[in-house]
Structure 1
Amino acid sequence: MYVLSDELLFRVEKNGGILINKNNFSRLELSESESIFLSLVKEMGKEKAFNEYIKYFSADSLTKILREKIYKEGEIKEKGISSLSIINKIQSKIKELKKLNQISFPLELVIYPSMYCNLHCSFCFLANREDENVHLADDWKKVLSQAKENGILSFSILGGEPTKYKDIDNLLKIIDSLKVVTTITTNGQEIKKSTIDIICQSDYITPVISLESIDDFKNFELMGTRSKRGIELITRIAS
């Protein structure tokens, strides 16, 4: 049985839909008929989806999408949903999105688990702020899981200094389990070994190290810390 590749994000949108490669973010715009077909593929596999599709539409409308290298061999657990109900659902969704003139869901979600920062950068208005009521990772899990279900492409974790967030390790573990491409922006000055280990072991989380200059004096002037620690962290993660 052929199914959609795990490397692809498929979403129904007002123009019909989009396919996005999660690795390089390349995109393919889809027509309404192609989105209907791929919705059927998700529920019943390519072969059965094609047989069900041609009961209601012309096979000619699928010439392009059938030739795309977006399918792989795999198992699928059918949910017993009729093809006609899937088709009606997709057509109704596209109609509603056209009426609202909007995309179905954001492509990227940016979260700020805590606004606290351990530095006093001269250019930053958020430096050294502490949140009294920060949420635990399990609270973020609900939001992140909903975003995954709605076809989010990527997460971005900002702050403050996110590695100083008290539940950062659990948050990163949750994100890794969701298998969504994620960046975490950190100054890297006081990052825990356990946090580094989670990042290094993840196939989905990429650190972005904040440095204003590799020159120690210039970096200290701007960020109040020397660049050495950040450079050491980059070297460690890259090795």
Structure 2
Amino acid sequence: MMEIAKYYLNETEEDIFPLGGSAPIMPFQHVTLPAGVYMMHGEVYDCTRPGLYRFKHETEAFFRNRIVAGSPANLHAIVSAFCWNQIHGTGHEVIGNLQPVSDAGRMFVWRMRCGYAGNYMAWLLPQFGFSVRQVGVSTLGPKNGYDDGHQVLEVFHGGKWVMFDLTNGRYWLDSNGVQMSAAEFIVAIAGGAPMPAHVKLDGKQRRWDHEAVLGGTLDMGLYGELCIGTDAQMGAWFRRIYQKVDA
């Protein structure tokens, strides 16, 4: 039987249960999965909702992570699925052929820093028809040499560019409930203005992997835990980093 059978979307995490009957065997080749009903180890599961699915059978020493985009493709569900299945690290940082990186997500959580996360999504999302660009933001204040900027993803959606902060798992809304671009968010928080409403793309605790050690000395996992681990610290970090769009 399945030890784990779960569905994830934004902050929602829920158990899913087998159906009766029969269905095609779930494909194993890629992390992306067409919406459908599939069989694993004699159990049938409904995987028709866009989002992330995770399965682990009691006899298998691996997880099955699958991203269902939906038809038409649901942008926010795809991005949410990625955010659930990624932590800040270096284990899957690749420039070049990203198919093996994508396929690694079938069984593992991706370990990527912000620029590589954006690079991967800039590779994945156009496969579902989305226009994408990576945007750099950075501080205008004193530099520390290791955490002075950030890479975010923008997607042309609903007639405008909208921003996703992938490694922090969220995006922001203006006063009309419209998703902001990076430039719009920077203007909105300038001068200590109240932080706009945000939508979380996952419900997991933010974690930076301890495998990432900058310059051979700075444990980025500890930095994440101790310096940006609370909501107040994260808010201060957003205000410090989101000060200008890089040319």
Give TM-score scaled by structure 1 length: 0.33
TM-score where L is the length of structure 2 = 0.32
Query: Whose strand proportion is higher, 1 or 2?
Result: 2
More helix by share: 1
Larger RCO of the pair (alpha carbons < 8 Å, separation 6+): 2
